[in-house]
Structure 1
Amino acid sequence: MKPPLRIAILECDTPLTRTKSKYGGYGGVFKSLLEAGADALGQPDLVSSKKGLDITKYDVVNEERYPTLGNIDAVLISGSRHNSFENVPWIVKLVEFIRHLLEEQDRIRVIGVCFGHQIVGRAMGVRVDRSDRGWETSVTPVNLTKKGKDLFKLDKLMIHQMHKDMVYDYPPGVEELGYTERCAVQGMYRKGRVITVQGHPEFTRDIVTELLETRHNQGIFDDKAFEEAMSRVANRHDGVAVASAFLRFLLED
């Protein structure tokens, strides 16, 4: 794929107050991430934060709005507080849209993040459900497979997590990227078609702090879980490296 890379961000949720004020929406969060990932590639004549990215945003929850396929090269499915396994109309529509892309649109590539990773798994026919091992939160080490190391250019991935649902099995024909003790399916890859991560490369310390504080106040996280997650929230993480991997995936022949 040659630049400009026309990437449609499918926004599957609305950020909390501070994050929304800074970025506008999750499309803005991902735009910032992808621009940083482009600069980190070190190929400014090809793609950078100033050149080679054409990013559009679509609210698939409230507006159920989707891109015209002829105008894009890839979709990126964002995270969400919603459950990927539910059969509410907008989620069913999203699953069918991704299934259509994967089965009938060889040209358009798919990137999935957290909820988006799970939507890809569901669209490919594997079980997506509540984890029986509880939440993964804050900066978490992910063990990488050989393919994961090759794609992310890392020996181990440090990435923000914020999920209690997961993909239980790998779909046929995808390569495994990583695993943790609590979640065996941390990423999927099929050359020229799809790349996903269960973690949140787009999340920052500030974004995750706001999420943890809000969910602690709501009683979702008890004091112990909140304090443990907060102890790791400022740790170094590899979000930009993951974004660079996403862009290499789009650029590969």
Structure 2
Amino acid sequence: MASGSKKNISIALLVADTPPEPVVAAYGDYEKIYKNFLQQSANTVKRHRWQESLDLRIRPFDVVHKQEYPDEGQLSDGLWDAIMITGSASSAHADVPWSNKLVQFVAKIAEEHPLVRIIGICYGHQIVGRAFGAEVKLNPRGWEVGVYDAQMTEEGKELLNWEPEESSCLRLQQVHRDEVIELPPDFNGEEFINLASTARTPIQGIALRYPTECPPIPSVVNTSAYLAFDISDSGISSSGPLPARSLHVLTTQGHPEFNREIVELIMSVKTEMGAITGNLLEEGLQNAQKEHDGLRMGAIFLAMLGYERAKDEGGHSF
């Protein structure tokens, strides 16, 4: 492959909220936050010099006020490799028209455009859960704010490429009170997988495999409905794809796109509202300072879309 070639990845960012004003003033809206997060994640992905560099194309869609979505023609032509649903201060279990429409759109993508990957973060995680038939509720155990040690399942460690000698915890910034209370039912014969658990939120992320390890992405086959899952694209090294390449759906309850300052600004706003006070505020401020796996999770999202770390001859990532 010639040096300087590009791997194009296109993500439709379904924006479900605007961050609080102090966050916007410091870091921008969700379009800017997610673009920066994914680009910073891409910068951590070490590649061979002969491998393609990344051309990451992210377009926001306002699903709240404008209720805009990628149109059917764009999807059918393979323009979008993935949809990514952002976080939101809204409740994912609320019976409101715009969120119900979002649930219906995600379900339609899964059924009619099976090669389009589905990624959900926090509120997006909960919306994806609803779209596949799981129940979302207010968590009776209360808020999670800041970084928590989420104990990963064995399948979670495999899919997220955790090495056996590493800690079995997934650590992401959190700001949520709602939760997915059960795994969705099987979809097209495949079972949903719980990635990790905390004491307050047993389902910290869900994943759904394709029936093959390395299906193509829409921009490679130029259609989002291509169903012959026995080919791979040219971006895979000879040592084979990471486990994330097998995923149709991947969500996290935590916020890999948030850093400590963003969480602290959100807590400040919620404290003024009376939502986060006392011991919870103290806990959240302490937790927010902990190290987290945000960029590592972002790299997994990119690996899901075919852009991953180079490997040596033994199949180990650099």
Q: Aligning the two structures, in what range does the TM-score lie when normalised by the shorter sequence?
A: over 0.9
In structure 2, relative to structure 1, the CA distance for the partners of 1:234 and 1:47 (3 Å cut) is farther
TM-score, structure 1 as length reference: 0.93
Contact 2:23 2:266 in 1 (8 A): no
Segments of 4+ moved more than 3 angstroms: 44-48
Residue in structure 2 matched with residue 199 of structure 1 by the alignment? 254
Q: Give the Cα separation in 1 of the matches to 2:301 and 2:159.
A: 9
Q: CA deviation at 1:52?
A: 2.4
Secondary structure (helix, strand or coil) at the match of 1:63 reads: coil
Match of 2:25 among 17, 21, 24: 21
User: Structure 2 residue aligned with 1:127, among 127, 132, 135?
Assistant: 135
Contact 1:10–1:27 (CA under 8 A) maintained in structure 2 = no
Is 1:89 equivalent to 2:97 in the alignment?
yes
Secondary structure of 1:210's counterpart equals helix
- Write the letter of the residue equivalent to 2:284: A
Say which one has the larger Rg.
Answer: 2
- Superposition deviation, residue 203 in structure 1: 0.7
- Match in the other structure for 2:67: 64
Q: Which residue of 2 aligns with 1:168?
A: 181
- Please report the TM-score for the alignment, with normalisation by the length of structure 2: 0.75
Which of 272, 278, 300 is the aligned partner of 1:217?
272
SS of structure 1 residue aligned to 2:134? coil
Q: What displacement does 1:151 show?
A: 2.9
Please tell me whether residue 137 in structure 1 is matched to residue 145 in structure 2: yes
- The CA deviation string for residues 2-49 of structure 1, in whole angstroms up to 9 with x for no partner, is 93110111111101123213443112111111111112121276566x
1:178 counterpart (192, 196, 201): 196
Unaligned residue ranges in structure 1 (runs of 5+): none
Aligned length: 249
- CA change 1:47–1:167 in 2 (3 A) is farther
Residue range with higher mean Cα deviation, 223-232 or 204-213: 223-232
> Match for 1:55: what amino acid?
I
Among all aligned residue pairs of Structure 1 and Structure 2, give the percentage whose two residues are the same amino acid: 36
Q: Measure, in 2, the Cα distance between the counterparts of 1:67 and 1:43.
A: 31
Aligned alpha-carbon RMSD (Å): 1.7
Specify which of 30, 35, 38 is matched with residue 34 of structure 1: 38
Amino acid at match of 1:189: A
Local SS of the residue matching 1:195: strand
Q: What secondary structure sits across from 1:119 in the alignment?
A: helix
